[in-house]
Each structure stands twice: as C-alpha cells, then as structure tokens.
A and B are shown apart, each in its own frame.
Chain A
Amino acid sequence: MIGPPNVGKSVIFNRLTRMNVGVANYPGSTVEFSEGALRLADSPVKLIDAPGIYTLQPASEAESVAVALLEDAPDLVLCVLDATNLESSLYLLLQLMGLGLPLMACINRTDLAEERGLAVDHEYLARQLGVPTVATRAVTGQGLEELRSRLNGALSSEFSPPAVRPAPSWAEAERLTQQARRSAGRSEDTLRDRLGDALIRPWPGLPAAVLIVVLVFGFVIGVGMGLRRWVLLPFFGELIIPQLVNLVQALLEPGLGREVLVGEYGLLTKGIEWPFTLVFPYVLSFYAALSVLEDSGYMARLGALLDGLLKRMGLSGTAVMPIFLGYGCGIPALMATRALSSHKQRLTVCAMVCLSVPCISQTGAFVSLLAERSVGALAGVAMVSILAMLTTGVLASRLLPGRPSTTLMEIPELLLPRADVLGKKVWARARHYLADGVPAVMAGVAFAALLYETGAMEAVGRALSPVITRWLLLPEEAAVPLLLGVFRRELAVLPLMDMALSPSQLFTGAIVALFYVPCIAMVALVAREFHIRLAIVVLVFTTVFALFVGGLFARLGPLVL
C-alpha cells in the first residue's frame, strides 16, 4: 500500500487489518512500515503500509523505505490517491504504472473533496488508465468493503502487464485531473478553513500557539495529577499494594525474599507504585494531548509558525514533530527523525532529544518529586530544559557539517479529531508503555532491592561518594538513581523521593537526572540508527555533563531557592 503522506493510508490499513497502528493527520507519521494480516475471501494476505511518498524520487530516509519496498516485487500494489490533491497523487500513480507491477488504486478523502465542491470520477480514471479504482472515505469506512472485494479479485486473477507507457509528466497528471474532476455543489469557505488559516498567520497564530502550548502543558500536568490523585493512587496505593503486602507478609518469613518483594525497594510496593501511580497518569494525559495536536493538523501549523526559530538551529518546520514526540518518549522521536530530509537535521534532533528533552515518564517523575515540595524548582527544571534544548540545537547546527535545511512542507487541513480514532491511538501508546516501560521499571526496582538488601548498595554509594556527596552535595544513597537511571529515565528521579532532601538538593537531583544518560533502549537505538560511536559519545557525554552541571547547580541552588 503506497501513496502520498497524510492521505489516510494508515486509517485504511487499520480498517482492513483491524489493527491499531499510529495514525496522524501529520506528514510522516509512518516512518517504518507497518505490516498486518488481511483476511480476504480466497486467501490470507500480508498487507504492508509504506511510509508516504510524493514521488518515486525519495526525499528522506523514510521515503527511501517506501521505494525499497516496491523493489521487493509485491504481488499487488495498492496506490492510495488523495481526492483533494488529485494531480500529485496521479503523478505517483503514473510513475507506479511504469514499474510494471500489478496495480490497484483507491481514491481516498472524497468527503473532504466534496466539501470543497469537487468530486472525482473514479470510473473515468479506471477506464483511462486501465487500473481498477475504488473511491473510499477511510474515516467512516465507506467504500472499504468494495475495496476488500476488488483486492480479492485483483489478487486471484492473472495479472497481465500493462502496455508500455511514456514517462509520466506533470502535464499528463494535470490533464487527467481536469478530465476526472466533476463539480459537486458549491465550495464553501468553512469556519474550519478560516480557523485553520488564522492559526498559521503570525497574528493571531503566534499568541494562539503560546496559549495552546500552555494549555497543553496545563492539561498534561493537571489531568495527570487528577488521574493520579483520584483514580490511580486510591486504586493501587490503597487497594492493591496493601493487599499484596499483607499477602506476602502472611506467606513469607522475614528474610531476603520478603524484603526484595515488600522492603525498601520492594518489587510489589515501589515496583508497582512508581510506574502505575507516578508515571502512568502523565503518560495517559500526555498522549491524549499529543494525539489531539497531531490529528487536528495543528502540529504542522506549529512547525510553520516556529520555522524561523527552528532555522536558527539548522532545522526545518518538519522537525517539530520528532521534538514533540521526544517529550513523550525518545524512541519514537528518534524513529521519526527518519522523515527529516538531511542527516544533519537528524543528528541535531537526536542531540536535542538525548540531552535535554525529558520523556513523559521522567516529566511525570519530576512533577511527583517537585510539585508538592517546591513549584519554583519544577519551573526551574523546565526552564533549564528548554534553554538547554535551544542551546543544543544552535550549537549542533554550528558544529555539525552540512548545509542548513530548507523547509518545504504541506500543511494539512485543520480537522476535528474523531474520538474513536483518538481513543485507539492513546490506548496503543499507553499499551506500549505498559508492555515495555513498566517491566523495565520493575526490573530496575528489583535490581535495586537486591543491591540494597545485600548491602552492595552501600558499597557502591561509598565508592561514588566523592562525586555524590562532595561534588553534588547529595547523600550517599543518591547513588541509587544514578545506577538505575541507566535503565529508565524516571528511575533517575523517583528514588530521590524518599530521601528527605532539601529543595536545593531536589533541584540538583532533578538537573542531574535531566541531563543524565537517556535510557539504555535509546542508546541502543542511537547505535542502530546512526553509529555505535555516536551511542558511546552520547553515553559518556551525558554522564559527564550531567554530573558537571549538577555540581554547578548544587552550588547555585541554595542562593536562589
């Protein structure tokens, strides 16, 4: 399945395979390809959703993936066309026809085209091009049954290669578009259009952007805290954990096993409390907000508005997406850098995300650690993080070789996100946290419990004490977050909670955690996506830098807080 970005391929894919895959009203949301099983009447089929491409000349690494997929000689290529921007989709279709692969087309977003007073005569196109064509509305599911049966037909019938065609030209695509276009009522300048345009203009777009970012921040923190206080804390803290503790205490004699399970770093106390009550609420609220921003098409507007600022960092407007994703989790952020057009941009965003963008798990931990003790310290951490991010960007753009990139991006329409699509998406991301994040945190806690109960922790603390007590002015136990922080970012923060630290010490701890090693999974991904050398640089630099800056703030903090 191939087509231009942001045309609804992923929605069609999800509907056909009944799977939950990331979908966004934002170019470049599918960066690797997704693969799903599709049950047709005659046989099971493997359906691949390729990253969006405008033409077969790839402009980014993600687009090269799509072109490479075509070289694997698929049994059938389903080209998804955009009814609202027919000619560029048709050019892609014409290019695909030149490849001599079995081909089918489906014209999506016909509902949006109708709103603009346009209709596409898909039968005319099918006759002209000799390619079976179906019209669909993926968001409502209209036309998908027909698509399913036509796919079945196309796969079971013998394929005869099409006649050799001249090289595709834009003139031909334009001619076909003119001929296939039918007028369907009057085009209306809707409120949605006007609002969408207003949000891209500097006025009122920039103040609105500030307002929206503040609102999003407030929503993430507020809703997260509410979820924690009213839902997750009562459920886990008062219901589940005490029961588990009672059960363990009833079953096990006092000893190492019992202490590991319910002791200071008990697997069943901290191991459940931390991931579920301190981090999970923010994961939910953040992804809810992010999904609305993505699906409404606002993210691209933000990218266009901030383009001038991003340019100073050698980035283009498209880089907003991976940076925002980085505030959720660094892994999808690094993956999303594939959609950026230059290697320099990818490296810059990678440096920003690895060094100074805290993931939502860590942000949740910061909020839990600081919000109740010192709001000033929380604001301070946020400021330091933003300043560091901007500095990293500016430095990276100066130091890395290569030209600054030029922005050229499509701004999708402003749409009201559909609740069912949003719900699925938030759930898919939350499930990802539950499946990958929670076990990692629990493993980290179990590791800490073992170290603590066997006394190894004290030894490590003593060994590291010159750094931790002398330089960072923290108690010896603060070696724990430094050890655990390598596994998960939030584990560099959460153990500080029960140490009875002063506000200044909390702030120091938070700053160290902010700049400290991104989790081990991210380092591994940097090695895979870029180079093992870069991963080592990230590992060493973040450790040294975090400790160095932490020490400076430990001395500055008491002056301010």
Chain B
Amino acid sequence: MGRHRRRRGRCAAADPRGYLGQVLGRGALAVERANCRWPRLSRRYGRMFYERLVQEEVELAGVKAGDRVLHVGCGAFPFTTLALAERGCVVVGIDRDEQAVAAARRVVSQKGLDGHVEIRHGTGESVDCADFNAVWVSLHVTPRDEVIHNCLTSLRPKGKLVLRNVAGPLKLLYNATSPAAGATQAHVRTARSQARSNLVTMVAEKLPSTDKQRVVLSGLAAGCRGTIAATGNGHPLLEPLGIRPGRQICLRCIQKLGGSVVADLDGRRVAIDRQLAEQIVVNPVSGD
C-alpha cells in the first residue's frame, strides 16, 4: 500500500479511515522520498503503477496533446504529472505541502521537463481551474467533496474533472465518491480501470452554464416537473419505465425512512430507489 503519494492533512481523527489514511500517508511519503533519491526505483515504480492508469484516464477523458491540465495533489514525486507531460500536455501540479512542492520541483528539473511542467503551492479547495482543459484529482486528496465542488464550479464548460475512485477492498481505507457528487453540474461517466483493478475512473464533464439550475430528481419539490437530462448508469428497468433523457418527469412524493421516490412519467407512476433518484438529473420546468 506504500505506493500512494502523501498525506493531505485534515483527516478527522474520529474517522478510523482517516487514521488509517494518516498511517498510509506516512508510508507513502517515505516511498516517495525513496523515489526522489533513487531514480531507478522511481522509473520502475512509475511504470508499474502509473503509466497504464494515466493512459486509460487520458483516453476516457479525451485529453489531447497540447491541452492544459491541472493535477491536484501532485506529491513529492509527481508521477501522474510527469506521465501527463510525457503525453504532450502542459501540466501544472499543485500540492498543499511546501516540502513536497520543493521535492517535486527538483524531480521536474532533473527530468528536464521545466518547459512543460510547473509545480505550485496550492490547495484543491481554492485553486482556480478556469485556465485548464482538464483537472486530475489524486486519490488521497481531502476534503474531497469541497475539492470536487471547487473544481467543477471554476472549470469552464466542457472542462473535465478526472477523479480516481476506489473499488473493492480499498473502500475500507478511502471514502468512495458517489457518481452523484457532481451530477447537477456535469455529465458523469465512470469506468473500472483495467490497469489497476481496485480503482474506478470518474470523468465529470462540465455542462454549459445554461443548464446550471439542474437538480437531481430527489432534490425536486413534490409536485414539481422537470425534463430528465441524465439517468446515471444502472438499472435495467429505467428505460422501459420511461426514465430516459428528454422525458418529462413529475415528482409525486418522497417516502420516509430513506425510502423510494415516487414519480409520474406521462401518467405512469413509478417508485424509484433513493440512490437511483440521486443519479437522475433533471432540468426543472418552471410554471407549476
């Protein structure tokens, strides 16, 4: 587990996962320092864990050579940042830890990538993403929800946010981000990584600002109508029951105890699980 880059502060002590994260983070820091010291190790380590993963992410996000990319949480040995630069992107890596920033700068100049990579000190919650075509967020970055919110808000339309999300046993160590997280601001796609079977890549593409008032279905008030914009991926009965993009939906009521959401589609009443309803994005129709 020592392959992760670094601790990124503010882990709630009450959360056992946070504590584990801290321990792991220290381990990761040691590994990264070792990577900084022994270039041969770093080459093997990078090939082993990052090259194919980054390649997959680049393909999924549709990032091209020449694109401007921001990497939040680059760490002392910025593998992802370097891998992106090798694919022709102009990359800015940021980290909240000054020591890591200094170490990362040394690595970049050793590799002779000064013209393509810039390392800055900064945090994901405050950075402005408007200049970038795509933003990568590392697995360790916390507080995750705030970082996602800031990135999606400051990105330009069609800008992409690439998140590494956990699957399988790693869920015990990290909080997985729900695909619903950015659903009202972006079109979210997910894909299980082939290179690293315990990771899922999520790509959120920022929507044009005209769609800004989008909400998830369970966020509508009872009796309100909307046009379905996206349904998330999932249930085989969504389409046959009429829950398809472009259709009108009317929220009837939300059941107690985390129960289902009852909606009306062209006269047909459907009970939708709360989790499914949180992935259904609608454009509210005003006037009723």
A317 lies within 8 A of B260 (CB): yes
The verdict on A304 contacting B271 (CB below 8 Å), with A202-B256, A408-B276 known, is: yes
Interface stretch of the complex, out of A132-140, A308-316, A514-522, A530-538:
A308-316
A407 lies within 8 A of B262 (CB): no
A410 lies within 8 A of B270 (CB): yes
The verdict on A308 contacting B255 (CB below 8 Å), with A407-B260, A408-B271, A408-B276 known, is: yes
Q: Does B236 contact A (CB under 8 A)?
A: yes
* Closest-CB distance, A43 to chain B (whole angstroms): 35
Q: Does B20 contact A (CB under 8 A)?
A: no
* Closest-CB distance, B260 to chain A (whole angstroms): 4
Query: A316 to B260, alpha carbons, bound, how many Å?
Result: 9
Q: Does A156 contact B (CB under 8 A)?
A: no
Complex interface: chain A residues within 8 A of B1 (CB): none
B259 lies within 8 A of A304 (CB): yes
How many residues of A are in contact with the other chain, CB < 8 A?
39
A84 lies within 8 A of B268 (CB): yes
Complex interface: chain A residues within 8 A of B257 (CB): 308-309, 311-312
Query: Within A335-357, which residues are at the interface with B (CB < 8 Å)?
Result: none
Interface stretch of the complex, out of B32-40, B192-200, B211-219, B240-248:
B240-248
Most buried by A among B239, B241, B262, B270: B262
The verdict on A202 contacting B236 (CB below 8 Å), with A88-B241, A304-B260, A410-B269 known, is: no
Complex interface: chain A residues within 8 A of B272 (CB): 407-408
Fill in one digit per residue for A120-159: 1 if any B CB lies within 8 Å of its CB, else 0. 0000000000000000000000000000000000000000
Which one, B252, B260, B266, contacts A307 given CB within 8 A? B260
The verdict on A408 contacting B241 (CB below 8 Å), with A85-B268, A200-B253 known, is: yes
Fill in one digit per residue for B265-288: 1 if any A CB lies within 8 Å of its CB, else 0. 011111111011000000000000
Q: Does A55 contact B (CB under 8 A)?
A: yes
The verdict on A307 contacting B267 (CB below 8 Å), with A54-B240, A87-B242, A88-B240 known, is: no
Query: Within B127-186, which residues are at the interface with A (CB < 8 Å)?
Result: none
Complex interface: chain A residues within 8 A of B269 (CB): 196-197, 200, 410-413
Q: Does B258 contact A (CB under 8 A)?
A: yes
A170 lies within 8 A of B259 (CB): no
Q: Does A201 contact B (CB under 8 A)?
A: yes
Q: Does A116 contact B (CB under 8 A)?
A: yes
Query: A307 to B259, alpha carbons, bound, how many Å?
Result: 5
Query: A410 to B265, alpha carbons, bound, how many Å?
Result: 10
Complex interface: chain B residues within 8 A of A305 (CB): 255, 259
A411 lies within 8 A of B262 (CB): yes
B236 lies within 8 A of A308 (CB): no
Q: Does A206 contact B (CB under 8 A)?
A: yes
Q: Does A57 contact B (CB under 8 A)?
A: yes
Query: A202 to B222, alpha carbons, bound, how many Å?
Result: 12
Query: A304 to B271, alpha carbons, bound, how many Å?
Result: 6
Q: Does B237 contact A (CB under 8 A)?
A: yes
A84 lies within 8 A of B255 (CB): no
Complex interface: chain B residues within 8 A of A411 (CB): 262, 269-271
Complex interface: chain B residues within 8 A of A202 (CB): 253-256
Query: Within B182-230, which residues are at the interface with A (CB < 8 Å)?
Result: none
Complex interface: chain B residues within 8 A of A197 (CB): 252, 269
B242 lies within 8 A of A88 (CB): yes
The verdict on A409 contacting B270 (CB below 8 Å), with A4-B240, A170-B244 known, is: yes
* Closest-CB distance, B265 to chain A (whole angstroms): 9
Which one, A55, A304, A316, A413, contacts B262 given CB within 8 A? A304
Query: A174 to B244, alpha carbons, bound, how many Å?
Result: 11
CB closest residue in chain A, given B235? A408
CB closest residue in chain B, given A198? B253
Q: Does B103 contact A (CB under 8 A)?
A: no
Which one, B236, B242, B256, contacts A206 given CB within 8 A? B256
Complex interface: chain B residues within 8 A of A304 (CB): 255, 259-260, 262, 271
Q: Does A406 contact B (CB under 8 A)?
A: yes
Complex interface: chain B residues within 8 A of A309 (CB): 257, 259
Q: Does A303 contact B (CB under 8 A)?
A: yes
Complex interface: chain B residues within 8 A of A276 (CB): none
Complex interface: chain A residues within 8 A of B267 (CB): 84-85, 116
Query: A309 to B259, alpha carbons, bound, how many Å?
Result: 7
Q: Does B238 contact A (CB under 8 A)?
A: yes
Nearest 7 A-B pairs (CB), nearest first?
A308-B257, A308-B259, A54-B240, A307-B259, A304-B271, A406-B273, A411-B269
Listed by A's residue number, 14 A-B pairs whose Cβ atoms lie within 8 Å are A84-B267, A87-B242, A201-B252, A304-B262, A309-B257, A311-B259, A406-B273, A408-B235, A408-B241, A408-B270, A408-B272, A408-B276, A409-B237, A410-B270
Query: Chain A residues in contact with chain B, CB under 8 A?
Result: 4, 54-55, 57, 59, 84-85, 87-88, 91-92, 116, 170, 196-197, 200-202, 206, 300, 303-309, 311-312, 316-317, 406-413
Query: Chain B residues in contact with chain A, CB under 8 A?
Result: 234-242, 244, 252-260, 262, 266-273, 275-276
Beyond A85-B242, A406-B276, list 11 extra A-B contacts (CB 8 Å). Answer: A59-B237, A88-B240, A88-B241, A200-B262, A304-B262, A305-B255, A305-B259, A307-B271, A308-B258, A312-B257, A408-B237
